[in-house]
Chain A
Amino acid sequence: SQTIHQWPATLVQPVGSPLSLECTVEGTSNPNLYWYRQAAGRGLQLLFYSVGIGQISSEVPQNLSASRPQDRQFILSSKKLLLSDSGFYLCAWSRGTGAYEQYFGPGTRLTVT
C-alpha cells in the first residue's frame, strides 16, 4: 500500500529565516506530487505540482520554491520567510494516469514569528 510522509509536523521560524519542508511517498512510482497551503479556516491553495523528476509547475508567484530531486521526494523551500507564509502545508500525491484522486500527508503547521 502507498503511504505519504511529511516532516516536520510543526515548525516555528523567525521572519527572514530559510525553510525546508519534505514530503516522501512510498509504495508507488512516478506519482504526481503537490504542495498546498491552507490558511486557518480556509480552503486549499495549490502552490506547486510536479509530474516527474525536475518538473515543477508553480501556481502562485511568491517567495517559495519547490524541487523534486527524486521520483518520490518533493521539497518546499524558502530562502527568507515572511509572516504571510504562516499556515498549514499539505503534500499530496496522485497516480500519473487513470484515477485522479489525491492522497494527502499529515501536514506541517508553520508559524512565522
Chain B
Amino acid sequence: AQTVTQSQPEMSVQEAETVTLSCTYDTSESDYYLFWYKQPPSRQMILVIRQEAYKQQNATENRFSVNFQKAAKSFSLKISDSQLGDAAMYFCAYYPNAGNNRKLIWGLGTSLAVNP
C-alpha cells in the first residue's frame, strides 16, 4: 500500500533561519506527484509546492524549495528566511498518476513553530 510518513510531529525554527521538514513515501509506481500543503491556525489548507516525479529538477516557490530524491523516496521541504507567518501544520501528500486508486495520500503532518 502507498503510504506517506512525516517523522517529525513538531519542529521549531528561529525567525529568519532555515528549516527542513522531512517526508518519505512508499510506492511501486514511477509516475506520481508530490505536494506540500500548509495549514495555518485558520485551518484552511493551502498548497505550498508541487513536484512531478518525472522531473529531476527540484521545485521552488519563493522561500520554499524541495529536495526530491526519487530513489530514496524522499521529499523534504526547505523553508528559507523563516517568517512568523510560516507557523503552521505542514502536510506532505502523494498522488499516483496511474492505476485505479488515484487519490491524494496524506502524511500526518508536522507542526512548525517560528520563534521571534
A binds B: yes
- Nearest B residue to A51 by beta-carbon distance? B102
Cβ A100 vs Cβ B91 within 8 A: no
- Nearest B residue to A49 by beta-carbon distance? B103
Query: Per DSSP, are chain B's interface residues mostly helix, strand or loop, or mixed?
Result: loop
A31 proximal to B (CB < 8 A): no
B108 proximal to A (CB < 8 A): yes
Chain A: minimal CB distance from B43 (Å):
5
Most buried by A among B45, B91, B102: B45
Chain A: minimal CB distance from B17 (Å):
25
- Nearest A residue to B108 by beta-carbon distance? A43
- Nearest B residue to A42 by beta-carbon distance? B108
- Whole-angstrom distance between the alpha carbons of A38 and B103 in the complex? 16
- Interface residues in A75-112 by Cβ distance below 8 A to B read 88, 90, 92, 99-107, 109
Q: Which residues of A contact B (CB under 8 A)?
A: 38, 42-44, 46, 49, 59, 88, 90, 92, 99-107, 109
Q: Which residues of B contact A (CB under 8 A)?
A: 33, 35, 42-47, 50, 91, 95, 97, 102-104, 106-109
Contacts A59-B103, A105-B44 known; 19 new A-B pairs at CB < 8 A = A38-B43, A42-B108, A42-B109, A43-B107, A43-B108, A44-B45, A44-B106, A46-B104, A88-B43, A92-B45, A99-B50, A100-B104, A101-B33, A101-B50, A104-B45, A106-B42, A106-B43, A107-B43, A107-B44
Could you list 7 A-B pairs, sorted by A, with CB under 8 Å? A43-B109, A44-B91, A49-B103, A99-B50, A100-B95, A103-B47, A104-B45
